[in-house]
Structure 1
Amino acid sequence: MDLIQAEPEDAIELAEIRAAAMRPSLEALGRYDAQRVRKRFLDTYVPADTFKILHQGALAGLYVIRDKGDHLYLDHLYILPKYQNLRLGKAVVEYITRKAQFRQLPLRLGALRGSPANAFYIKHGFIQTHEDEFDIYYALSPIP
């Protein structure tokens, strides 16, 4: 697995990855809107915060990590369906967790209610902090 800084011209391709990865969970909730799922990503796209996940040279996913000063926020982590279950997400979460630990910062994120991502984050030590109508939020505190 390689992690590569995104470029401005990657925006559309990465929005497509988000749409493909989120589609099953959003459809299960009756909330899939092809245009909206892409627009939400594109409206907040910052190449400096965005990394492409490559598996054997192929673009397999992406993650977006935002430095909020007092914590790191994992805004997006998506793996294309054909690359899921290869432990890429696990490797990315472990990498980001090490970065947060090194900086002694909590790592926070939100996951769509009903998404398999919730079990994934709990399995990796995240604790639920709160929820809203559509998302459940988690945090992983730094080890003292």
Structure 2
Amino acid sequence: MSTSTTRASWTLRPATPEDLEPAAAVRAVVMRPDLERLGRYDEHRVRQRLRDAYTPGHTTVVEVDGAFAGCVALRPSEDCWWLEHFYLAPEVQGRGIGTGVLAALLARTDTEGATVRLNVLQGSAARRLYERHGFVLEREDPVDVLMVRVPRVSCG
């Protein structure tokens, strides 16, 4: 999948073990404001949680103008896919890249007829992106919001 805009050209590629540390660094930067607001930021833990869960086979790297700009994981579960570790570097946010990446992943899960679940932090701006793509609240607590999206069926 590749898309070009006047500001940035982005592509998706399979992740490798070497992408772990760049992904952990982007995660730390992107999540810091929300984690600080929630009183849960820890410099080491924010990176370690990604290191502990990283599976290159389920992860896709987002490159912008040929450089690492983020990642997203789509992990199979018993009854759904889990959308996890969706991080874009701040300097590439706001250009429609996240929307394009998410649309591409959801087109795949829709083709499979698969439900997708995700977890987003309370108050995160990312929640609006997910809601625009059909995710709805499943449950929440003071820190996390669990969202779900049933597959869309196309007519025709």
Tell me the residue number matched to 1:79: 88
1:52-86 deviations in whole A, cap 9, x for unaligned?
10111121111011011421110121111111001
- Give the percent of matched residue pairs that are identical in Structure 1 and Structure 2: 37
> Gaps (5+ residues) in structure 2?
1-9
1:23-47 deviations in whole A, cap 9, x for unaligned?
1211222221110000000001111
Instruction: Note if 1:31 corresponds to 2:40.
Output: yes
1:82-137 deviations in whole A, cap 9, x for unaligned?
11001111011101110110100011111011111112211222111111332101
Structure 1 stretch displaced more, 18-27 or 36-45: 18-27
Picking from 40, 53, 78, the partner of 1:44 is 53
Picking from 71, 77, 84, the partner of 1:68 is 77
Query: For residues 14-29 of structure 1, what are the structure 2 equivalents within 5 Å?
Result: 14-29=23-38
The one-letter amino acid paired with 1:40 is: R
- How many residues in Structure 1 have an aligned counterpart in Structure 2? 144
* Separation of aligned partners in 2, 1:41 and 1:49: 13
> Gaps (5+ residues) in structure 1?
none
Which segments of structure 1 move beyond 3 Å, counting only runs of 4 or more?
A: none
* Bigger radius of gyration among the two: 2
Q: TM-score, normalised by structure 2?
A: 0.87
Query: For residues 110-125 of structure 1, what are the structure 2 equivalents within 5 Å?
Result: 110-125=119-134
